[in-house]
Amino acid sequence: MICPKCNIEMVKGFIPATRLALMFIPDGIDAPLTIFGRPKEAVLLTNTPVLSAKRAESYYCKACEIVVTPVSRVIKGNQ
């Protein structure tokens, strides 16, 4: 994947979820109260890990120090 900020090739990797589902929650929205809760505004990055860890495929730009997680690839890679 090419970095959207500097146009340099990014390093492919993943963000592990070992206890809770990873999700992006916009500012001003409260975090869920339970491990299975999810605010309607949240963007799910992994399913909830039950018996094994889940992975959110991600890319890291060394130059910009940003991580990009393509949301369209998240759920199908965690099933």
Report how far residue 32's alpha carbon sits from residue 29's, in angstroms, rounded to the nearest whole number. 9
Confidence of residue 75 (pLDDT cuts 50, 70, 90): low
pLDDT single digits (tens) 31-66: 888 877 889 899 988 888 888 888 999 999 999 999
**71: phi then psi, degrees, rounded to nearest 5:** -65, -35
**Number of compact structural domains in the chain:** 1
Please say if the pLDDT value at position 79 is more than 90. Answer: no
Of 21, 20, 12, 18, the C-alpha closest to 70 is 12
Please say if the pLDDT value at position 74 is more than 60. Answer: no
Domain that holds residue 45: 1-29+38-79
Share of the chain above pLDDT 90, in %: 48
